[in-house]
Every structure is written in C-alpha cells, then in structure tokens.
Amino acid sequence: MRLCDMSFKKLIVLIIACLFCFKGIHAQEFSMGIHFSPIATIPMMAKPPVTNHPSLKAKKYNINASAGLNFNYRFKRLCIETGGNITTRSITFRMNLDEYSYNSLGGSSSISSYSDTRSSGYAIGIPLQVGYLLDKHDAKTVYDFYGLLGASYEMHTTLAYAYGAGVTSQSGNSITNNRNFYPGSGVQTNWINIIAGFKINAILRHVGLIEYGLRYHFPLSHAGQYHVETVVSNGAYGSVFTGDFYPRLAYMDFHFTYYFLSYEKGAGRKKYRYN
C-alpha cells in the first residue's frame, strides 16, 4: 500500500510540474478533460523465453482499459498534450494441453484443448505528446486532425500472482492442469513508452468538444520476469513444464476524451455546446 501511495504522489507532483512548465507559454487555447480508452495489451519478449517446452507461450494480446485526465495546449498548428492516467495491464500464458506429454513414456494427452492463466497488474502513467495539425474542417462538421508523437513515464505494479487448477475431458481421456505464476503481488517496474498515433478534435452538437484517435505505446524496457509453472497429469503420471518470460507490455490505445473546460486567449472560457 505504501508503494502505491508513493507512486500516486509522484504522479501528482509530475502533473503539477507539467502545468507550471506551460504556465509561462501563451497558448492560444487550453482544454482540460477526462478520457477513457479500451486498450489491447500486446506482450513482446525483450529476450527469447527460456522454457522446457516450446508450446508454453504468451497469448498475443489481452483487452484492458485506461482512464485519466487530459490537458491540451494549442499553438496554431501545434498542440501539446499531457496529464495522467491509470491503466490495467495483464498478460496471459496459454498452454496447449494436447501438445504436452503427461506420462513417463512420452505419450500425448490426446486432448485438443488449451488452458489460459492470466496475470494482472496496473500502471500509472504521465504522457507528454506533441501533435501537428494535418487537416482542418470547418464546414458541416468541425474537426481538427493531428498526428501525434511523444513519450510517457510508466509505473507498473503487479497484483497477486495467479494460481489455479482445471480438469479437461475429451473422448474418454481426462487430465488435470495445475498452473502458477510469479511475480508476486506488489512487484514494481518503471519504464519509458514511446507514443505515436493520431487524434481528431471534433465539436459535436449537444455534446461539446471531444477527442478520439488511435495511439501505439512501445515500452523501452521489459516488465520484469514472469516465471510460469504448469503440471499436466492424467491421475497416474504427471509432467512439470516451466518457462521464464521477460515481456515488454506494448499496447494499442483506442483513445476517447471529453473536454469539459476550455479557455481561449483573449476570449476567456469557451462554450462548445450548441443546439
């Protein structure tokens, strides 16, 4: 709990520092909003996994979510975006049971199934992105299209390690699969993410100023060691399979923001909502 409190304090300090950095810059417009994003976490191995069986693999992606505050500063064709967010981050290891030997003679389990074990965590992040206006439309639909490039500082914490057991049956065969994960609860890793993508600022009738887009986050370091153990047994014989993984937790961010407060230089607070 103390580690989480420290991370939250760091987040607040960094956000305040960002706001003071921009205080002396005369932006044409400043907007503050809240965002929510479904994200697809994509594990990429920082180095080859060390396993005693090649079919013990990480699942290609998991669906997670992100939410937080956005601060957007506009300067003619440029915008600077910062804020803070918290994201759920998870990785799933898949074990194809029919590819595992479960007896001392090396026989196949003969069961066409797989077992998934998911290890969850969350990350607190501070992004800083620069956008360049690529297109502007002021006719029936009012929107601005920006290309984005930036980075974020991520503080990742794992939740309690996963453990479970299951029984799978098919064609008269029955096997038990026990699995377990490390790292344990509270393991922390920090890294820098490179961010690239696009966003669209649009004014919606009866709603106001919103923003949506797609961003790819690529981490420069891995999320620590994940040690995976699984035991496959037919009740009489069993085999233990292990693996060590060092995943980078990249993710695709389907970003949506609602800006509830906007100020324009020389005009004061702006009201985007109209009938």
CB 124, CB 88: distance < 8 Å: no
The pLDDT assigned to 239 comes to 74
The pLDDT assigned to 5 comes to 47
Euclidean distance between CA atoms 152 and 251, whole angstroms: 13
Euclidean distance between CA atoms 108 and 18, whole angstroms: 58
φ/ψ of 4, rounded to 5, equals -65, -40
Residue 54: both structure tokens together: 């090649």
Between β-strands 142-158 and 247-264, what pairing exists: parallel, antiparallel or unpaired? unpaired
The pLDDT assigned to 3 comes to 44
Phi-psi sector, 78: left (phi>0), alpha (psi -120 to 50), beta: beta
Between β-strands 29-45 and 142-158, what pairing exists: parallel, antiparallel or unpaired? unpaired
Rg, Å, the chain Cα set: 24
Domain locations along the chain? 2-269
The pLDDT assigned to 181 comes to 65
The pLDDT assigned to 152 comes to 95
Q: What is the pLDDT of residues 244-275, one digit of tens each?
A: 899 999 999 999 999 998 888 767 777 765 55
CB 224, CB 246: distance < 8 Å: yes
What residues contact 172, with CB distance under 8 A and at least 6 apart? none
Largest CA distance in the chain: 81
Q: What is the pLDDT of residues 186-232, one digit of tens each?
A: 778 899 999 999 999 888 877 888 999 999 999 999 988 888 887 77
Residues in the chain where the model's pLDDT stays below 70: 1-27, 98-112, 137-142, 161-173, 175, 178-185, 234-237, 266, 272-275
Please tell me the chain's helix, strand, coil percentages from 3-state DSSP, rounded to the nearest 5.
10, 65, 25
The pLDDT assigned to 173 comes to 66
Euclidean distance between CA atoms 8 and 16, whole angstroms: 13
pTM of the predicted protein model: 0.81
